[in-house]
């Protein structure tokens, strides 16, 4: 086990550039063919974003496991050390190869593509809604329930692109979209209602964005 102190920043301060740097570091060490897997310790605020993005940007056979703590080391019942040991167990398991990036917390293994943080303080916060965990850890073994479907990965992304995320809500007006139509953004992702619906009061803002040839992507919340 070797330790590499690449970044030491609060997780709310993480950027896409930081994640790309982390990806590049993993690829460099992967090429040396001396490591069975990789463990990343990460603050939980943006852990799922980092896991998801690395999974989009890397395709190696070695397991990449991300973990952290919901209770810090100065709190009663701190879970950090236990999660860290669990992550090492998963990363060193031969059965974890070719499963992409995984998040390990509270004896559960989740895929980066499905996991989300569901509670601000509960140690069982990381869950995979509609999917369930990829596997679990017992006292004696690492047990996987299934093999995740590996999707397309990308070698390059432009970290300088400006793509704001806009959340739709009942009674939403067009002011936010109108504002972004005046900015130099490269696209807008709108977390829409239902299957991609928006209040009619947003129409003017949408039209302003389209007139500026700003790509609009609607996703369901």
175 carries a ligand binding annotation = no
Domain range for 216 = 165-220
Q: State the pTM of this model.
A: 0.91
44 carries a ligand binding annotation = yes
Q: What is the pLDDT of residues 9-58, one digit of tens each?
A: 999 999 999 999 999 999 999 999 899 999 999 999 999 999 999 999 99
Q: Please tell me the total count of domains within the chain.
A: 2
Average pLDDT value for the chain: 95
* Within a domain: 61: yes
38 neighbors 1 (Cβ within 8 angstroms): no
Catalytic residue positions? 44
User: How many other C-beta atoms lie within 10 A of the C-beta of residue 61?
Assistant: 10
CATH number at residue 18: 3.40.50.1170
* Within a domain: 29: yes
**Per-residue pLDDT, 149:** 83
Same domain, 184 and 91: no
CATH number at residue 189: 3.40.50.40
138 carries a ligand binding annotation = no
Element (H, E) at 206: helix 203-211
For 191, counting Cβ atoms within 10 Å of its Cβ (0-12 exposed, 13-18 middle, 19+ buried), the class is middle
Read off the pLDDT of each residue in 151-167 and give the average, rounded to a whole number: 93
């Amino acid at each position: 086990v070797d330790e590499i102190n690449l970044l030491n920043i609060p997780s709310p301060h993480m950027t896409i550039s930081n994640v790309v740097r982390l990806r590049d570091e993993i690829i460099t060490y992967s090429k040396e063919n001396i490591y069975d897997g990789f463990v990343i310790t990460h603050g939980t605020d943006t852990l799922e974003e980092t896991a998801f993005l690395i999974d989009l940007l890397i395709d190696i056979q070695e397991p990449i496991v991300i973990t952290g703590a919901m209770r810090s080391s100065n709190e009663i019942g701190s879970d950090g050390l236990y999660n860290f040991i669990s992550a090492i167990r998963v990363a060193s398991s031969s059965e974890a190869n070719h499963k992409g990036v995984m998040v390990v917390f509270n004896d559960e293994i989740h895929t980066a593509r499905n996991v989300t943080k569901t509670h601000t303080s509960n140690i069982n916060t990381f869950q995979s809604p509609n999917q369930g965990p990829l596997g679990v850890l017992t006292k004696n073994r690492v047990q996987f329930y299934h093999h995740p479907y590996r999707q397309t990965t990308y070698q390059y992304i432009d970290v300088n692109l400006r793509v704001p995320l806009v959340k739709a809500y009942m009674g939403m007006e067009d002011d936010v979209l109108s504002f972004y139509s005046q900015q130099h953004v490269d696209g807008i992702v709108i977390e829409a209602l239902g299957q991609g619906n928006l209040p009619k009061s947003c129409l003017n803002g949408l039209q302003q964005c389209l007139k500026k040839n700003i790509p609009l992507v609607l996703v369901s919340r």
